[in-house]
Structure 1
Amino acid sequence: MKHKNQTTATSLQEEIDKTRQEIRTDGYSMSIGEWISLYEHNEIDIHPDFQRFFRWSDHQKSAFIESILLGIPIPPIFVNQREDGVWDVVDGLQRLSTIYQFVGILNPNHQEENTPFTLQETVYLPSLNGKKWNDPDDQENSFTQAQRLYIKRSKIPVNIIQKESDPMIKYELFQRLNTGGSIATPQEMRNCILLMLNQNLYDLMSSLSRRESFRNCIALSDKLYEEQYDLELVLRFILLFDKDNDSLQKLGGDVSVFLTQKMRQMAVENNWNRHHIESAFDTTFNLLNQSMRDESFKRYKSEEDRFLGGFLLSAYEVIALGIGYNYRTLPPVDEIPNRVKSIWSNQIYKQWSGAGQNSTRRLRYLIPLGREKFSPS
């Protein structure tokens, strides 16, 4: 009879062996000149849609060029080899796009980055200030041929996830490599992953987030829009508005992890109904825009009979998801304000909407409350 520890060790080793077989990789060093050639011949895809999710300033770009000139080792670029042989960049977007922009070949579809940039003063090379790659009209501030050749001959390693690997590996790798890096928020990370997994689902989310009725009702600050919080609210709606009650009661853990996992599952299984989602979303926010507008998710003070403050997520979870669930059989529009006001005196809402409540566990209580409040009866 096997000892329990032996069985556990065997199971672990089996998992390690199985997963290692699912990841096929290769790696070597490539000159920057070769990286440039790949881009010029459309043999590498740096995912232009990702550009807005990353934030390298001109100072960071200049520091990167400085590192190349000083011979400081550059971390490897991770790529996924597609069936057509083209490399998808999994990690290294900013390094490569900085090079491509600096030498003047970055795709002109990048509206804000379609011209070469001028370097800034750096810590060890202050004379980089004002320097360009090669400007025929300003040779004094252009790199010399020797400096350009030095950069083109410098090497950056590449790690290749071969096409035989499990399809989910590149998304896992992208998420792990970029966590805590250039992307500002978890939702921006999700957006990048979703663009790689299912462009159609990303396009739907993006389209819904631009609906005027939705934007009128959530009334977010510029900072929250910049952080893509509007897209997170759209994702919460899509994942939760028609979730069955049994699944709701099992919710727990970190809500950010839940959103990422369920989004990935939805994207991979690709069995979602666009018409159903759009109908529920548009009905919900058109109704709220008619009846509540920017008061839809603000705190209600009964003693003053008015709504105060800014957007509250707990109110969104009750109101938007409750209306979305009932979108085919909603009460009349003139009843909506009073039903919203009644939520603020409800004991379940008071108990589960306060600070300190587990953000996923509270959904077990707030979502059913909203479904009841906005049922037709």
Structure 2
Amino acid sequence: MKSKDEIDEAERQIRTVQQVVDYTVREYPVEVLVEKHLTGKLEGENEIFVPDYQRDLIWEDKRQSKFIESLLIGLPVPYLFVADVGNEDPDLEGRLEIVDGTQRIRTLARFLTGELVLEGMEKLPGLNGFRFGDMLASRQRRFGRITLRLIELTEKADEETRRDMFDRINTGPVRLNDMESRRGRMPGPFVDLVREVARQEAFKTLAPLSKAAEKRFEREELAARFFAYMDDYTTYGQTESGKVVSLFVDDYAKRMNAAMEQEGPGGPTETRLRAAWDDMLRLVSEILPNGFRKSPSAKSTPRVRFEAIAVGIALAMREDSSLPGAWDLVGHLSKPKFRELTTSDAANNRNRVTGRIEYVRDRLLGR
């Protein structure tokens, strides 16, 4: 049985948060919603805009077409969430940040501008191959008048509240992956550094990825894991936050954000991490003809292979920069032991994680 003080404190917390998450419900016709999103977009002045913590358009054309089909046949669709952010930046006065719904708004924009060609329609197969302009003019007008409901957070909802909501309500069929969620929940200098190094052309060349993986920030996930394992891999699986990779990396990102904020731009932590990343990529380009790929024809980079090679190299260079076994590494990466440590089955088991990292490290050191 809870005491009266505990109950009163719980109620106080609920009331406090409720006051922050203040909102109104609005309805906009599709054509107005798209206009508010597209007008002034190139200049960064569109009324309804996508914030930098949101993900790119990752719905494939078939999924986008399904959404359009749902609207055409009158099926209900989820609410969109937007937020008035003018209280934080005068330049954003009167504009609305999309908290949840970027895939739907972007899909509508692509359809109304004629970019999206409908495909995979099951209820309306006769529309497959159609663009918006191919429909009867009367149907175009009716589609433009379809209304969507928006929950608009007022200016009382601060950035932390919006980012928290972004993380909580993204529970649809296409779930946020770890890096997408991390970008939204914990912005800071470390996450910015991860974003920057992930864009390097050398990294893209050495670690090719599919277009779908690129869109979902897989490069940033690889970079974040590299830094976390390089510094703390020995604690993985031994602490509460270290039992799950996403929590392990989250914990590291929080600590690095705090350290780098305190030190300021170009501080010792940032300098150390940049150097380790650059030195690692340089060595990979010198000694591994295929980069992080399994073969010259491979078009993707497995996480476990990247982690083993990248982190193993960083740890070896930290211990002995001469790396006596560097030129033998290619042969070691083709041996059964390495393949066993980098198979997908139980790949994130603590013994597998530490085993594959130390395997590369020790081979480079000639052990």
Task: For 1:125 and 1:246, locate their aligned partners in 2 and report how far apart those are by CA, in whole Å.
Answer: 55
Task: Output the amino acid matched with 2:69.
Answer: E
Q: Are residues 226 and 116 of structure 1, via their aligned partners in 2, closer, same or farther at CA, if it must alter by over 3 Å?
A: closer
Match of 2:43 in 1: none
Instruction: Select which of 43, 50, 53 maps to 1:46.
Output: 50
Instruction: Select which of 283, 286, 295 maps to 1:287.
Output: 283
Q: CA RMSD in A?
A: 4.7
Q: Are residues 155 and 281 of structure 1, via their aligned partners in 2, closer, same or farther at CA, if it must alter by over 3 Å?
A: same
Instruction: Select which of 100, 103, 107 maps to 1:98.
Output: 107
2:285 alignment partner, SS class? helix
1:259 partnered with 2:249: yes
Output the TM-score relative to the length of structure 2. Answer: 0.69
Instruction: Select which of 133, 136, 146 maps to 1:143.
Output: 136
Task: For 1:19 and 1:262, locate their aligned partners in 2 and report how far apart those are by CA, in whole Å.
Answer: 28
Q: Are residues 78 and 226 of structure 1, via their aligned partners in 2, closer, same or farther at CA, if it must alter by over 3 Å?
A: closer
Is contact 1:255–1:360 with CA below 8 Å preserved after alignment? Answer: no
1:172 partnered with 2:161: no
Is contact 2:280–2:313 with CA below 8 Å preserved after alignment? Answer: yes
Q: How far has the Cα of 1:352 moved from its partner?
A: 12
Instruction: Select which of 148, 153, 165 maps to 2:145.
Output: 153
Match of 2:321 in 1: 331
Is contact 1:38–1:44 with CA below 8 Å preserved after alignment? Answer: yes
Is contact 1:131–1:143 with CA below 8 Å preserved after alignment? Answer: no
Deviates most, 47-56 or 123-132: 47-56
Deviates most, 352-361 or 22-31: 352-361
User: Which of the pair has more CA radius of gyration?
Assistant: 1
Task: For 1:227 and 1:259, locate their aligned partners in 2 and report how far apart those are by CA, in whole Å.
Answer: 17
Deviations 1:148-181 (A, max 9, x none): 3322222111012333224222223223333453
Is contact 1:322–1:367 with CA below 8 Å preserved after alignment? Answer: yes
Task: Output the amino acid matched with 1:336.
Answer: A
Task: For 2:36 and 2:229, locate their aligned partners in 1 and report how far apart those are by CA, in whole Å.
Answer: 43
Task: Output the amino acid matched with 2:47.
Answer: E
Q: Are residues 359 and 180 of structure 1, via their aligned partners in 2, closer, same or farther at CA, if it must alter by over 3 Å?
A: farther
Match of 2:180 in 1: 189
Task: For 2:301 and 2:119, locate their aligned partners in 1 and report how far apart those are by CA, in whole Å.
Answer: 40
Match of 1:204 in 2: 196
2:117 alignment partner, SS class? coil
Task: For 1:246 and 1:274, locate their aligned partners in 2 and report how far apart those are by CA, in whole Å.
Answer: 22
Deviations 1:93-146 (A, max 9, x none): 122112212221xxxxxxxxxx53333473333443444433xxxxxx3332x3
Task: For 1:268 and 1:81, locate their aligned partners in 2 and report how far apart those are by CA, in whole Å.
Answer: 28
Task: For 1:36 and 1:353, locate their aligned partners in 2 and report how far apart those are by CA, in whole Å.
Answer: 46
1:168 alignment partner, SS class? helix
Q: Are residues 364 and 161 of structure 1, via their aligned partners in 2, closer, same or farther at CA, if it must alter by over 3 Å?
A: farther
Instruction: Select which of 22, 28, 31 maps to 2:29.
Output: 31
Is contact 1:132–1:143 with CA below 8 Å preserved after alignment? Answer: no
How many residue pairs end up in the alignment? 340
Task: For 1:339 and 1:291, locate their aligned partners in 2 and report how far apart those are by CA, in whole Å.
Answer: 8
Q: Are residues 340 and 127 of structure 1, via their aligned partners in 2, closer, same or farther at CA, if it must alter by over 3 Å?
A: closer
1:122 alignment partner, SS class? coil
Q: How far has the Cα of 1:60 moved from its partner?
A: 2.9
Q: How far has the Cα of 1:187 moved from its partner?
A: 4.5
Output the TM-score relative to the length of structure 1. Answer: 0.68
| Aligned counterparts, 1:117-136, within 5 A | 117-120=116-119, 122-134=121-133
Is contact 1:195–1:202 with CA below 8 Å preserved after alignment? Answer: no
Task: For 2:347 and 2:333, locate their aligned partners in 1 and report how far apart those are by CA, in whole Å.
Answer: 17
Q: Are residues 186 and 261 of structure 1, via their aligned partners in 2, closer, same or farther at CA, if it must alter by over 3 Å?
A: farther
Task: For 1:64 and 1:297, locate their aligned partners in 2 and report how far apart those are by CA, in whole Å.
Answer: 37
1:29 alignment partner, SS class? strand
Is contact 1:291–1:333 with CA below 8 Å preserved after alignment? Answer: no
Deviations 1:168-198 (A, max 9, x none): 2222322333345335x72463476379777
Task: For 1:165 and 1:375, locate their aligned partners in 2 and report how far apart those are by CA, in whole Å.
Answer: 53
Q: How far has the Cα of 1:280 moved from its partner?
A: 0.9
Deviates most, 278-287 or 169-178: 169-178
Match of 1:239 in 2: 228
Task: For 1:336 and 1:82, locate their aligned partners in 2 and report how far apart those are by CA, in whole Å.
Answer: 53
Is contact 2:195–2:220 with CA below 8 Å preserved after alignment? Answer: no
